[in-house]
Structure formats: structure tokens, C-alpha cells
Amino acid sequence: MKKHLTKILVASTAILSLWVAILLTPANDFLSLTGLYHQPIPEHAEGHPVDPGKGYYIEEVSDGVYFLSGWSHNTMFVVTDESVIAVDAPPSLGEAYLAAIREVTDKPVSHLIYSHSHSDHIGFASQFEGASIVAHEATASILRDRQDPQRPIPTVTFDEAYTLDVGGKHIELTYHGPAHGPGNIAIYLPEDKVMTMIDIAFPKWVPIHEFAVAEDLDAYYKIYDVLLAKEFTHFIGGHAMLGSYQDVKDQQEYAIDIKNGAVAAYESVGGLAKLGERAANSPNTYVTVNFGLNRMAGKCEQAVVDKWAGKLAGVDVFTHSHCKRMVFHAMTD
């Protein structure tokens, strides 16, 4: 009996030692990358079948309106009776963007719309040489400072709203505040029931880190009501899947759940005064504050993950970062 218990103890110690070794070495990072620690991606969020030979996936969502997806970024272009209107120019698509356009038409690209200034979405715009570039004035101002030859300065700018009527296609461009960043606009085709706004909603997925690094959380939350006030069937968000009206509603509900959970978690610790008192009486105030933030974020995270698991992909990966950002917002708002 004693011998048997010794074997069990030795085996248990070996297993525990192996697990500790995995956690404390690069092996842990490798296992994390395999996804073994995370929830499986729901089938409805598994991604568009990008043709490896072409480097893109293309789908006509309305007459002449095409959804275009690369390995990591999505965009759209519109074929009118006269020419093509392109939206953004992600480097991840590169020259494959023009190849996709040429797959469906030989008409020239007359206009290029910048959704906003970020290079991951417009960093290959120089390929549309000769096109009239339309953007919000804030985007133009940023690009004048950047002086990036891959992101030519817009030739047509606006402040609140601008309308493009080209070859029978009507496109409404509107600005509703910084949200994701200054100059980030909504692009709406009312007749085609297509809405595009980049880096706000991530159909079938959650946003990446801290609401996709939204610069203004108040504007970020308000933008959902603006989008949902419009009638649309298809939504193109810049990443993740081709979406729908319901996808935007789901993302709004997810964001509201995070806000409510973060506020409740913050209130549960007694507010900033209590947190500050604990920090002041600790050996290292930063450690204590960070522990408090993580604990509150964890309280917020658990309820949100439980609700949205299996519905939104990545909910177990980035919800903690959203909750932590929102807890800090609740502390300072």
C-alpha cells in the first residue's frame, strides 16, 4: 500500500512539475498560439474562403456592389454605369484589389473613398493613380502631417456630409464624431441597403484589443444608434465577416453588456476613494492599482463571456481588455 502511494505521489509530482515548466517557459506561449486554451471558433464565424491563388474573396452583395476580403481586412467597391468607386486600399490586399476589380469590370477607378487615415486600411492607395480621393477633413489633416506617398492626400474633403452620385449609384458619406478615430466615416448606399463603417463592428466576432483601440468611447457607443437608424441588409466592417443589420445590433448589445458589467464591478469595490486608500497603504501602489483593475475587469469579463460564448468568436480573448478599458473609463468619466 505504501509503495502504491509512493508511486502516485511521484507521478503527481512529475505531472505538476511538467505543468509548472510549461507555464514558465516558451512552451506556454506556443500552446497558447495553438488555441488549446481558448474556446473554439463558432462555425458561422470561421471566415471567408480566400482563394490562395488570387489572395482575395469577392461577393456581389447588391447590383454592382462588391464585398472584398483579403487575409485580414475587408473592403468594398462599387461598379457604376460609368466607372468604379473604390473604398480604402488595405496593404493586406495590395495589388490583388485591382485584380479583383478587373475580374468583374474593365471600367476605370474614378473615385477612392478613405474610411479613415489608418495605414492598415488605406496604406496601398497609391495604386489608384488618377482617382479622385474623397475623405473627411480630419483624415486629410492627418495625412498632410504624415506625408506618406502610399497614402495620397485627399483631393475632395468634407466636414459633416458628402454625397457621391456617379453613374446611377448614390453614396452618402457622413461623419458622427471620432469613435474609432478622427475622420472615421459611415459610407451608406440607401438604394442598395449596404452600410460600411470600418473598425466599429466586427460581424460574428468581438472587436480586437480595447474596442479596436477606439479613441473616444462615448462616441464609439453613440455610433451604434446612428448606424442602426439606417435601413441596410449588408454591413461591411473592415475585419471579420460580411455582416448584417443584426450583426451590428449584436455588437451593440455586447458593448452595452461590457459597459454595464464594468460599471457594476467598479461600484462593487467602493469607488475610486476606496481603491486609492488601498493603494496608498500598500508597498507598491502600481501593483495594487493594477491588481484592482484586473480584478474588476475579471468580474465584468466572466458574465459577458458566459453570455456570448458560441455567438461571437474571440469573446474569451479580448473581452478582458474591453472590460479593463471600460472600468478605467468608469473611474474617470
122-131 pLDDT, tens digit each: 999 999 999 9
What pLDDT is stored for residue 130 in this prediction? 96
Question: Which residues does residue 157 pair with via DSSP β-bridges, in sequence order?
Answer: 135
In the predicted structure, residue 245 carries a pLDDT above the cut 50: yes
Residue 29 pLDDT level (bands cut at 50, 70, 90): very low
Q: What is the mean pLDDT of the chain?
A: 90
Scan for cell 467597391, then name that residue. Answer: 77
pLDDT tens readout for residues 102-127: 999 999 999 999 999 999 999 999 99
Q: Which residues contact 179 (CB under 8 A, 6 or more apart)?
A: 200, 214, 215, 216, 219, 220, 222, 223
Using CB atoms within 10 Å of the CB of residue 37, give its burial: 0 to 12 exposed, 13 to 18 middle, 19+ buried.
Answer: exposed
What pLDDT is stored for residue 65 in this prediction? 98
Domain ranges of the chain: 45-245, 256-332
What pLDDT is stored for residue 71 in this prediction? 87
In the predicted structure, residue 17 carries a pLDDT above the cut 70: no
Domain 45-245 has CATH 3.60.15.10: yes
pLDDT tens readout for residues 253-286: 999 999 999 999 998 877 666 666 766 677 888 8
DSSP-derived secondary structure letter, 125: G
Q: Average of pLDDT values for 150-167?
A: 98
Q: Is 182 left (phi over 0), alpha (psi -120 to 50) or beta?
A: beta
What pLDDT is stored for residue 76 in this prediction? 98
Residue 293 pLDDT level (bands cut at 50, 70, 90): confident
Whether the CA torsion 254, 259, 260, 266 is positive or negative: it is positive
CA distance 286 to 121: 36
CA distance 111 to 78: 10
For residue 60, the one-letter residue type is E
In the predicted structure, residue 218 carries a pLDDT above the cut 50: yes
